[in-house]
Structure 1
C-alpha cells in the first residue's frame, strides 16, 4: 500500500508494535515494480543521477514507454539541480519542485499515473 498522508492522526502503533492505519482516504495499492521504482528514484535524486531518474519516470509510469528520453534529460537535470542547490536533498522545497515538474508536463509527454493522483 501507498499512503499519501502519513501522520500521527492517520496511523498509530499498537501495543504489540504493529502499525494500525486509521484513515484510508489517501491510500492506493501499488505493485512491487512501482514500490522499488520510488526507492530507486529517491536514491538517484540524492546521488544526482538524473539520467537514471528519467528511466525511473518510465518505470513509475510518468513517461510512456518508447518515448524519446534524450530531450527530457536536460530539462529534468535543470529542474533537479535547482531543487537540490543550497543544501542537497534535505533542503528540497517539494512544492516548488512539484510546480516545476508540472510545468514540464505541458512540453513533454508526461502523465500522472492513477496511484500518484491521490
Structure 2
C-alpha cells in the first residue's frame, strides 16, 4: 500500500492538538517541530534511541537534534513536500515516549 501523501494545512495540524508541536513553513517543505526538555544528555540519548526504534517500525524517520539538555524533533514527509497524517501519527508516538522518558 502506498503511503498517504496528502499534505495537511497548519489549521488541520492544529486540530490534532499535538502538545508541544509547532507548524513551521519553509521553501523546502513544511514541518512540525517539538523541543523536549530532557534535563540531561543520558535521558536525551535514551529518548532518541526510543524514537529511532519507533521510527524504524513505522518506516517514517524524523530529523533529530540531540543537545544538552533537550532533544529537538522535526517531522515532514519529504515525498509529499509537507506534513501528512504520517507525521501527526509519529508526533503522537513521540509525545508518548517523551512522557515516559521524563518520569
TM superposition score normalised by structure 2: 0.34
Q: Which has the higher strand share?
A: 2
Q: Which has the higher helix share?
A: 1
Higher Rg: 1
* Greater length-normalized contact order (CA 8 Å, ≥ 6 residues apart): 2
TM superposition score normalised by structure 1: 0.30
